[in-house]
Homo-oligomer: A and B are copies of this chain.
Amino acid sequence: MASIVTTEETLPSQELTDGQDGILRRAFVGEYTFETGGYLPQIELAYETWGQLNAEGTNAVLVKHALTGDAHVSRGDSQTPGWWEDFVGPGLTVDTDKYFVVAINIIGGCNGSTGPSSPDEHGNAWGSRFPFITIKDSVRLEARLADLLGVHSWHTVIGGSMGGARALEWAVEFPQRVKNVVVMASTAQATAEQIAFAQVQTEAIRLDPNFAQGDYYANGVRPDAGLGLARRLAHITYRSEAELEARFARNAQTGEQPFVTTRGPRGRYQVESYLDHQATKLVHRFDANSYLVLTEALMSHDVARGYESLTVALARLEKVNVVVAAVNSDRLYFPAQSELLAASLPKPKPVHYIDSPIGHDGFLTDAKQLGPVLTALVFDD
């Protein structure tokens, strides 16, 4: 049984279009058996919307967030800027005056959708009992929410990084429900290196003595050091070597001395302080189990799973307009992977590039560079 709720109360479905923009809502989407056999008796998905669904139901755009992202894409009526504030909003590339924009927090996360920190039916956090999830699971659950929202077919599904993986999987899983899909800085199948970096990150969390095999919620201490360590590594992969060098070189952090001249902790280089800052920020906004579950989901990412080959899987997109974009300096989702995806489509396409020196995170900071391309190829109605 699927139904729409706020955190505190059930709302009638017309609340969907009467509601304010950019405000977190939640919907029950029922029980679910996961791709690898896990089961949850009741799943909620948290989401935000902007603009209005038109009478024909043809103007809905689904924006997919990345690994530690959330549904707050654009400020809307809230006071808080969204993470794609210069890309999604009134008059912007994804125009909330024209489109009914939806963003959904992924299953397994910690921003309102059911995840490892959510309570089971007895009020205890799922913790280590939370099922293994895949990107396919995430989009299957989101299809239920689309039904609730009255969106039979998306005008566009768009996302970068894990959001790009989710967008592509949406189109492969439900090609009849997606008109356009925009896959930015992502891939059709997680590579050996992406799996390798991910393993280091999941092992970092598990190494933290506060992790307690995932059942730390009642302990008063969380595996912050492990999660922070995972984030340090992830963040290096999100930026380019050239950017790190240009910003930090081997300068010492102000007031610190990386050479210890007496006993005591060594002072830090600027780049260490920067990574510490990234770690601390994430620890304050994210749950370690969610990071684990979503990282393993991304390791599992393979739109070809269940099909004879990648080509066969992508053949399902014959009637979908696929736009592939990459950041030219990306060294986590290399441009070559985007080129491979674009070349493997039923109608091979050129890859569109974000020109940024900073690496993978260019899909966040410079998505607006794709404005003209997307206006011409996708948002042309």
Which chain B residue has the least Cβ–Cβ distance from A206? B225
Give A356 to B91 CA distance when docked, in angstroms: 50
Across the interface, A225 reaches (CB within 8 A) one of B197, B207, B244, B261, namely B207
Most buried by B among A225, A271, A275: A271
Interface residue? A248 (CB, 8 A): yes
Give A203 to B209 CA distance when docked, in angstroms: 14
Across the interface, A245 reaches (CB within 8 A) one of B192, B248, B296, namely B192
Report B-chain residues with C-beta under 8 Å of the C-beta of A36: 259-261
Most buried by B among A132, A200, A229, A233: A200
Report B-chain residues with C-beta under 8 Å of the C-beta of A249: 191-192
Which chain B residue has the least Cβ–Cβ distance from A260? B132
Most buried by B among A134, A244, A259: A259
Report B-chain residues with C-beta under 8 Å of the C-beta of A261: 36-37
Q: Is the CB of B208 within 8 A of A241?
A: no
Q: Is the CB of B271 within 8 A of A192?
A: yes
Report B-chain residues with C-beta under 8 Å of the C-beta of A217: none
Residue-wise, chain A 199-236 has the 8 Å CB interface mask toward B (1 for contact) of: 11001100111000000000000000110010011001
A272 to chain B, nearest CB (A): 5
Interface residue? A196 (CB, 8 A): yes
Interface residue? A300 (CB, 8 A): yes
Interface residue? A83 (CB, 8 A): no
Report B-chain residues with C-beta under 8 Å of the C-beta of A192: 241, 244-245, 247-250, 269-271
Q: Is the CB of A199 within 8 A of B250?
A: no
Which chain B residue has the least Cβ–Cβ distance from A203? B229
Interface residue? A266 (CB, 8 A): yes
Give A144 to B189 CA distance when docked, in angstroms: 55
Q: Is the CB of B132 within 8 A of A35?
A: no
Q: Closest 4 A-B residue pairs measured CB to CB? A: A192-B244, A192-B248, A209-B209, A37-B261
Q: Is the CB of A236 within 8 A of B196?
A: yes
Interface residue? A190 (CB, 8 A): yes
Q: Is the CB of B250 within 8 A of A190?
A: yes
Interface residue? A302 (CB, 8 A): yes
Which chain B residue has the least Cβ–Cβ distance from A230? B200
Most buried by B among A199, A262, A269, A296: A199
A288 to chain B, nearest CB (A): 13
Which chain B residue has the least Cβ–Cβ distance from A270? B192
Report B-chain residues with C-beta under 8 Å of the C-beta of A190: 250
